[in-house]
Amino acid sequence: GDIELDQIYLGSCTNGRIEDLQQAANIIQGKKINPRTRLVVVPASQEIFVTAMNKGLIQIFVESGAAIATASCGACYGGHLGILASGETCLSTTNRNFIGRMGDPKSKLYLGSPSVAAASALVSFTHLTLPPSGPVLMFGGGRLFKKKNNIYNCTQFQSPT
């Protein structure tokens, strides 16, 4: 069924590389983040932050409604900027999702690729189905993501209108 998302966490030391930010920016460019969902973008390093600024990626994220954080450890270890409250649900590009990892033990955390995170930020939900061919993430009934090597990657995306 649908999984309503309160927050999308894109980046940190995992999946905050310039290639990851570019992948997400390509999906988000010219669109607005769903007002129900927070998007927190965390480049993996200051060097990547500067490169992302020079390539215009930071501007794309800011114009979409994302919050941009400085390169550092943050919500992914439950520290600051993006920690989850009780009952909140997050899709994150970080590398761990055990109970309480990003905040309250009653929050929920799902992991996905930067492209899945970007698309999810636009629609504020994901829908996971388990067809015979294996797990596929769906948005509005259209196939968008396929699982390969335990990671969902974007195969196509049509922005909601």
Is the CB of residue 101 less than 8 Å from the CB of residue 9? no
Q: What pLDDT sits at residue 82?
A: 59
Is the CB of residue 16 less than 8 Å from the CB of residue 42? yes
pTM above 0.85, yes or no: no
The set of residues, in sequence order, having a beta carbon less than 8 Å from that of 158 and lying 6+ positions away, is 142
Q: What pLDDT sits at residue 101?
A: 65
pLDDT of 62-85, one tens digit each? 999 999 987 766 555 555 565 677
Q: What pLDDT sits at residue 100?
A: 63
Q: What pLDDT sits at residue 80?
A: 55
Pseudo-torsion of CA 29, 32, 34, 35, nearest 10°?
Answer: 150
Q: What pLDDT sits at residue 91?
A: 83
CA–CA separation, 119 and 23 (whole Å): 11
Q: What pLDDT sits at residue 12?
A: 77
Q: What pLDDT sits at residue 126?
A: 57
Look-up of token digits 């309250």: 104
**Mean pLDDT per 10-residue interval, the chain, length 161 residues:** 80 83 92 90 92 97 92 58 77 71 77 84 61 47 46 47 43
Angle between helices 46-54 and 18-28 (to 10 degrees): 40
Q: What pLDDT sits at residue 157?
A: 46
Q: What pLDDT sits at residue 22?
A: 94
Separation of CA 34 from chain center: 13
CA–CA separation, 134 and 4 (whole Å): 22
